[in-house]
Structure 1
Amino acid sequence: MMYQQEASFRDAMRRLAATVTIISTSGQGRRHGITATAVTSLSMDPPSLLVCVNRSGSLHDLLAETDRFCVNLLREEQVALSNVFSGKLAPEERFLHGSWAEDEHGLPYIADAQSSIFCRKQDAIQYGSHSIFIGEVESTLVSEDIRPLLYGNGSYGRCAPLEAAA
């Protein structure tokens, strides 16, 4: 019965479309980042968000040890960059792709992202296979053009307004 419940939950979650992000950080003289959709706002006062990272994933330990991270929301034309950060390349090799810059703390961010949200880690909570990192927003960079890259049902997509009902 548990397998059916897990499979059913997995199928349900495929229907939860989300903006594709790259979570980036640096520490111990190295940069690292992964593609993620398990990101959500937490509070506006103080401005904060949640990032959920698998504890067995390559980013987890560095993110647990560092004070800051950046959530880069991708544009619809950044599918290739999303794929690069999905784990096919070694962490440092990933940063050879895309338009990367660093903030005053040496935190890597995508210069042409939909938006980049710079966070100071406030807490980490372990739950099941993941850690939930709480980041308090220190600053943001926001593009004028709104064209986020979405992911749902195992595929990339784009956001388009619905026509008004007749």
Structure 2
Amino acid sequence: MRVHLTNAGAITLCESSVFDRLDVLVDPQSPARLEQAIARIGSRDGAGHVRLSPSVLRFLSDHAGAAEWEADFNAMIGYAASKGWLDDQGRVRAHLTFREADEVVSESDFKSAMRALPAGISAVTCGSGDEMVGMIVSSLTSISADPPMVGFFAHQNSSIRAKLLESGRFAANVLGEEHHDVISTFLSAPQGLARFANGSWAEGDHQVPVLTDALASMECDIVCTHPLGTHDLIVGKIRKTACSSANPVVHFNAATHSLVPVQTH
């Protein structure tokens, strides 16, 4: 059984039905990020070990609750107890295994590839009155229809992040050809009311700024946030939607483009 602390921010359980060993595999990452990851699963026990709660391992496993898996898992914990590897809180001692290299593409290669990915453009907003904030995203995506959820990514240093997490809600406003001024202002103006100088903005039913002529607006409650690399995935449950007829725009190759229907035969 192996807990994997990825340098993307995800924590997974590998080989969850292998009960003759338990360790924590660590991808190359900064000391600060590593300590944050360890704090999510347990606590340090010297330089080379951590303490893990059995409940964390159960939570990470897809097999928890199955009778055979539970029997083998309890036997593993019992064996650890017999060897003195459990502390007075019942947490098991696990060895840290450090992966020396993680071969990935360069940041410039990554950005070149992402510039080739067309994506819709949306204004994510939150706050009300003098506390309104917002940003442009091209990462808005559908997640689930039941319950209805959408998500987007916000950089962990984003000027909107703290307000988003504090308010616990946001509006996602899908932009179209009529909203070039909105896009330009959001990208150039300082964070705050100045970004709402262009466009027909109104306070929605859930106290978030809504663009009244957006292709679609979705008022959402934040139900999940998850750090992944330099960004946070922010997921919202949709409480209200509104739609209008307009032509969409997409972000492609570092520019905004209109769409032209493709003739099919």
- TM-score, with structure 2 as normaliser: 0.58
**Residue 147 (structure 1) aligns with:** 247
Q: Following TM superposition, by how much is the alpha carbon of 1:29 offset from its aligned partner in structure 2, in angstroms?
A: 5.7
| 1:82 shift after superposition | 0.6
**CA shift digits 1:99-145 (9 cap, x unpaired):** 100113321110111110111110111111111111011110011x2
The structure in which a higher percent of residues are strand is 1
- Cα 1:29–1:159 change in 2 (3 A) is same
Give the corresponding residue for 1:135: 236
Per residue, is there more helix in 1 or in 2? 2
The residue type paired with residue 5 of structure 1 is: S
Is 1:160 the counterpart of 2:260? The answer is: yes
CA–CA distance in structure 1, aligned partners of residues 176 and 200 of structure 2: 12
Q: Which has the bigger relative contact order, CA under 8 A and spacing at least 6?
A: 1
- 1:77 shift after superposition: 2.2
Q: Deviations 1:55-83 (Å, cap 9, x if unpaired)?
A: 11111111111121000001112112111
CA RMSD of aligned residues (A): 2.0
- Whether contact under 8 Å (2:171, 2:208) holds in the other structure is yes
1:90 is displaced (CA, Å) by: 3.5
Structure 1 unmatched runs, 5+: none
Which residue does the alignment assign to 1:41? 142
Contact map agreement 1:51 1:133 (CA 8 A) in 2: yes
Q: Which segment drifts farther, 4-13 or 149-158?
A: 4-13
Larger radius of gyration: 2
Other-structure match for 1:111:
212
Q: What stretches of structure 1 move > 6 A for 4+ residues in a row? A: none
Shift in Å at residue 14 of structure 1? 0.6
**In structure 1, C-alpha distance between the alignment counterparts of 2:182 and 2:136, rounded to whole Å:** 9
Q: Number of residue pairs matched?
A: 164
Report the Cα distance in structure 2 between the residues aligned to 1:150 and 1:4, rounded to whole angstroms: 25
Tell me how far apart the structure 1 counterparts of residues 129 and 243 of structure 2 sit (CA, whole Å): 29
- C-alpha distance in structure 1 between counterparts of 2:182 and 2:123, whole Å: 9
User: Take 2:130 and 2:197, find their aligned partners in 1: how far apart are those partners?
Assistant: 16
Aligned to 2:70: none
TM-score scaled by structure 1?
0.91
Q: Which amino acid aligns with 1:37?
A: S
How does 1:27-38 map onto structure 2 within 5 Å?
30-38=131-139
Amino acid at match of 2:173: N
Answer whether contact 1:34 1:87 (CA < 8 A) is retained: no
Relative distance call for 1:11 and 1:35 in structure 2 (3 A) is same
Which segment is superposed worse, 27-36 or 53-62? 27-36
Structure 2: where are the runs of 5+ without partners?
1-102
Greater shift, 89-98 or 52-61, is seen at: 89-98
Q: Give the Cα–Cα distance (whole angstroms) in 2 for the partners of residues 23 and 81 of structure 1.
A: 12
**Pair 1:55-2:195 in alignment:** no
Alignment partner, residue 76 of structure 2: none
